[in-house]
C-alpha cells in the first residue's frame, strides 16, 4: 500500500468519524446480556475453567482447517454484531465514541491473524530433518480492559484459538454485560460450525478477586493481561508465565521538516479516536518552536480547540485532583462535554482540546485517557526527542513522529525504544488502522512480545529425525 492509498483511507476514516459524529449510536434494540447461563458465561471461575478444559480437549481433535472455519465464523459474527456491541460498550462503560468503536471492532474482525500465522519451521542438513511446530498451552487466562472490551476479546480470542487453546476471560467489571453478550455470540458461531462448546468463557460477575483466582489457578498454563499498571504487576507476581500488556503515554513529536497540515490532521484524528482511551493514541504533542503555531492552527482547523489562560485553570481544576490524579469521571468522555463542565463553550463538533503547557504539567505526565492533551514547545528536534523519551516514562509502548528528515526519524526510532513507532501517520496506523500490517489489541511491552498474535499463544515443539527425509 502506498502513501496516497494510506492517506485516502485515513481521510475516509476521518470523514466517517467526522467532527460532527455523535458519540452515541442509533437506537438499536439489544438482546439482554446473559448472566450465567449464556454460552460460556459461568457463575464461578472454577466452572469456567472446567468448561474451557473440556472444550480444549475437544479442540485437540479438530483439524487446522476446522480451526480456520471457526475463526471465519467469529469474524462474521463480529461484523454482524458491530452496531450492537459498539452501542452496548459505549452505554455500559460510558467511555468512547460509537462510530470509532465500529471502526475498531471492524479492524479486529478483518486484520487479526489466524491459523496462517503459525508457520512451521523445517531445518535439514547432513544429520537429517528437524521440524518445529506450534502447540497449544491448553487453557489460557485472559484479563481484558474496559477501554476495548470486545476488541480485546476477539483479537486475543482468534489468536488463542488459532493456536489451539480454549480461553477463560476475566472481563472488566464495568464492561461485563457487553463482554458476556459477545462471548455468548462467539460461542454460538463456533457451535453452528459444528465446533466445541465453550471455547470462550467468562464469569458473569468478574471482580479483582475472580481475576486473582484465575491468575493463580493450576489449570491456567498461560496468562495474558491487558490493562493498567496494577494488573500488569499482579500478573508478573502470579508465578505463571504471563504476557503483560500495560499502559502507555505516547508522545508525538513534530519537527520543522514535517508536512504540518497533515501532522495537524493526523494528530487530531489519532488523539481523539474513541476519546483517547486507546493505549496507543497520541497523549501529548511535542513541537519544535519554528512550526508550533502553524501546527496549532492546523489542529484547530480539524476540530481541535486550544485552551489557555483562565479557561486552562478551570480545566486543570476539573480534571486533576488536589493530590495530582486524573479525575476518572472524565475518562473517555467527549471533549465538548468535558469543556462544558469546565464552563468553556465550544462547538459540539469539537473532538479534541489541547493546551500549551510545560513538560512537567499533568496533561503531559499522566495517561489522561480523554481527548484533552498537553502541547509542549521545544527549541529543536534534539530537545523534542529527549523530551519525548522522558514523558513516555520508559513504558516502551508507542511513539509517533512527523518529520521528513530521515536522520531525525532514525534518531527518534532508536531513542524511544517502543514496541510501536509510527512515522508520519496517526498512531492508530501502528495497529493497522490505515497502516500496513496486522492488528493487535494486546501490545505487550513489559514482557517484550509487542504486537501479540497467534504464535505468542503457542508452545514451540521440536521433532528431530536423524539421517532421513532430506530430498537432495
Ligand atoms: P484496568 O487496569 O483498570 O483493568 C484491566 C483489567 O485488569 C480489568 O479486567 C480489571 O478488572 C483487571 N485488574 C485491574 N487491577 C487488577 C489487579 N490488581 N489484579 C487483578 N486484576 C486487575 O485498565 P482499564 O481501565 O480497563 O484499561 C485502561 C488501561 O489499560 C490503560 O492504562 C491502557 O493504557 C491500558 N491498556 C493497554 C493495552 C496494551 O495493549 N498495552 C491495551 C488496552 C489498554
The answer on pLDDT for 407 being more than 50 is yes
Exposed / middle / buried, residue 132 (Cβ in 10 Å: 0-12, 13-18, 19+): middle
Q: What confidence category does residue 19 fall into, taking pLDDT thresholds of 50, 70 and 90?
A: very low
What is the mean pLDDT of the segment spanning 55-59?
98
The answer on pLDDT for 52 being more than 90 is yes
Query: Is any atom of ligand 1 closer than 6 Å to the C-beta of 442?
Result: yes
pLDDT for 5:
44
Q: Enter the C-alpha cell of residue 441.
A: 489489541
pLDDT in tens, 121-175: 999 999 999 999 999 999 999 999 999 999 999 999 999 999 999 999 999 999 9
Q: What confidence category does residue 37 fall into, taking pLDDT thresholds of 50, 70 and 90?
A: confident
DSSP string, 123-177: EEETTEEEEEEEEE-SEEEEE--SSSHHHHHHHHHHHHHHTT-EEEEE--GGGHH
Residue 413 Rama label (left phi>0; alpha psi -120 to 50; beta)? alpha
The answer on pLDDT for 13 being more than 50 is no
Q: Which residues contact 184 (CB under 8 A, 6 or more apart)?
A: 34, 38, 39, 40, 41
Query: Is any atom of ligand 1 closer than 6 Å to the C-beta of 172?
Result: yes
Phi, psi of 414 (to 5 degrees): -70, -40
Pocket test for ligand 1, best of 96, 108, 143, 145 (most atoms within 8 A of CB): 145
Q: Give the whole-angstrom CA distance, residue 347 versus residue 215.
A: 46
Pocket test for ligand 1, best of 93, 155, 216, 227 (most atoms within 8 A of CB): 227
Query: Per this entry, what is the length of the chain?
Result: 472
CA of 240 to the centre of ligand 1 (A): 18
Pocket test for ligand 1, best of 228, 248, 330, 441 (most atoms within 8 A of CB): 228
What is the mean pLDDT of the segment spanning 218-223?
97
CA of 108 to the centre of ligand 1 (A): 19
Q: H or E segment at 226?
A: strand 222-226
What is the mean pLDDT of the segment spanning 423-433?
98
Percent of the chain with pLDDT over 90: 92
Q: What confidence category does residue 24 fall into, taking pLDDT thresholds of 50, 70 and 90?
A: low
pLDDT for 348:
95
Q: What is the mean pLDDT of the chain?
A: 94
The answer on pLDDT for 439 being more than 70 is yes
Residue with the smallest CA separation from ligand 1 atom 16 is 231
Amino acid at each position: 500500500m502506498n502513501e496516497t492509498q494510506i492517506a485516502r483511507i485515513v481521510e475516509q476514516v476521518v470523514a466517517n468519524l467526522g467532527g460532527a459524529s455523535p458519540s452515541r449510536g442509533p437506537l438499536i434494540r439489544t438482546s439482554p446480556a446473559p448472566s450465567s447461563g449464556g454460552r460460556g458465561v459461568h457463575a464461578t471461575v472454577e466452572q469456567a475453567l472446567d468448561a474451557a478444559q473440556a472444550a480444549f480437549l475437544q479442540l485437540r481433535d479438530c483439524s487446522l482447517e476446522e480451526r480456520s472455519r471457526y475463526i471465519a465464523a467469529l469474524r462474521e459474527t463480529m461484523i454482524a454484531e458491530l452496531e450492537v456491541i459498539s452501542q452496548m460498550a459505549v452505554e455500559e462503560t460510558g467511555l468512547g465514541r460509537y462510530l470509532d468503536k465500529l471502526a475498531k471492532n471492524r479492524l479486529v474482525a478483518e486484520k487479526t491473524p489466524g491459523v496462517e500465522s503459525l508457520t512451521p519451521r523445517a531445518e535439514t542438513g547432513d544429520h537429517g530433518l528437524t521440524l518445529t511446530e506450534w502447540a497449544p498451552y491448553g487453557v489460557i487466562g485472559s484479563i481484558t480492559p474496559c477501554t476495548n472490551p470486545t476488541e480485546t476479546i476477539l483479537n486475543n480470542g482468534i489468536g488463542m484459538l488459532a493456536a489451539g487453546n480454549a480461553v477463560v476471560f476475566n472481563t472488566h467489571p464495568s464492561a461485563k454485560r457487553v463482554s458476556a453478550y459477545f462471548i455468548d455470540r462467539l460461542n454460538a458461531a463456533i457451535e453452528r460450525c459444528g465446533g466445541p462448546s465453550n471455547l470462550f468463557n467468562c464469569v458473569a460477575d468478574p471482580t479483582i478477586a475472580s481475576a486473582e483466582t484465575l491468575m493463580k489457578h493450576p489449570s491456567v498454563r498461560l496468562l495474558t493481561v491487558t490493562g493498567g499498571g496494577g494488573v500488569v504487576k499482579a500478573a508478573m507476581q502470579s508465578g505463571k508465565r504471563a504476557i503483560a500488556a500495560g499502559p502507555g503515554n505516547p508522545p508525538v513529536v513534530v519537527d520543522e521538516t514535517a508536512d504540518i497540515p497533515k501532522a495537524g490532521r493526523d494528530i487530531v484524528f489519532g488523539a481523539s479516536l474513541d476519546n483517547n482511551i486507546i493505549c496507543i493514541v497520541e497523549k501529548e504533542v511535542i513541537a519544535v518552536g519554528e512550526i508550533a503555531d502553524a501546527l496549532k492552527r492546523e489542529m484547530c482547523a480539524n476540530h481541535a480547540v486550544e485552551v489557555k489562560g483562565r479557561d486552562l485553570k478551570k480545566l486543570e481544576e476539573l480534571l486533576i485532583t488536589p493530590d495530582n490524579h486524573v479525575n476518572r469521571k472524565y475518562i473517555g468522555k467527549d471533549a465538548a462535554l468535558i469543556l462544558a463542565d469546565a464552563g468553556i463553550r465550544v462547538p459540539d463538533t469539537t473532538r479534541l482540546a489541547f493546551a500549551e503547557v510545560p513538560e512537567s504539567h499533568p496533561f503531559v505526565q499522566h495517561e489522561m485517557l480523554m481527548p484533552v492533551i498537553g502541547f509542549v514547545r521545544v527549541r529543536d528536534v534534539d530537545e523534542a526527542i529527549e523530551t519525548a523519551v522522558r514523558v513516555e516514562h520508559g513504558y516502551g509502548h508507542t511513539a509517533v513522529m512527523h518529520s521528513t528528515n530521515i536522520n531525525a526519524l532514525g534518531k527518534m526510532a532508536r531513542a524511544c525504544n517502543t514496541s510501536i513507532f509510527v512515522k508520519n501517520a496517526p498512531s492508530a496506523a501502528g495497529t493497522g488502522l490505515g497502516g500496513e500490517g496486522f492488528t493487535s489489541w494486546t501490545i505487550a511491552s513489559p514482557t517484550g512480545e509487542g504486537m501479540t498474535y497467534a504464535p505468542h499463544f503457542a508452545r514451540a515443539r521440536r521433532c528431530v529425525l536423524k539421517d532421513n527425509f532430506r530430498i537432495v
